[in-house]
Amino acid sequence: YIGGDDCKIYVYSSDLKEKHVIEGGHLKPVHSLALSNDGSMLAAGDVRDVCVYKTADFSTVVAKSKWCFHLQKITTIAWSPDDQVIASGGADDSIFLWHLEKKMKRVHYQFAHRGGVVGMTFRKDNPGKLTLVSAGMDSCVVQWDVTADAKEKFS
């Protein structure tokens, strides 16, 4: 999977042959991609939108203008261990949590990293807890227990 400056996502086979092009999902260049843990979905981020696609047929799960609250480009995306929550981090210093079943709700962490968020992952070794680890341009790595916030917003 390769995000393009032409607002498309290019899908290649392991022998580097183009298999498919996802078009029309983004209005701005695609900067960040992340596969779900089970490989069934692809999350993609551009300047403000996070979109989600099924990898089987590339149909849209979450379309543009639904998850669109970043103010600068989305630089990193991570999937929770159960593939229900997606975290997006951006050059706007923010981290957002999104839920596939509660598409109109979000959790926002402002000023998560000064200078922007450059990497994220959910810990998979802490059953019953939703723990996000983020890295930023501020040279900090932060571990966030987002369990209570996610439960309050998405339950």
Least confident of 29-33, 49-53, 67-71: 67-71
Helix/strand/coil for 115: coil
What is d(CA 88, CA 86) in angstroms, rounded to the nearest whole number?
Answer: 7
Task: Compute the chain's Rg from CA coordinates.
Answer: 15
pLDDT-derived band at 63 (thresholds 50, 70, 90) equals confident
CA dihedral sign, ordered 103, 39, 94, 72: negative
**Global pTM value:** 0.92
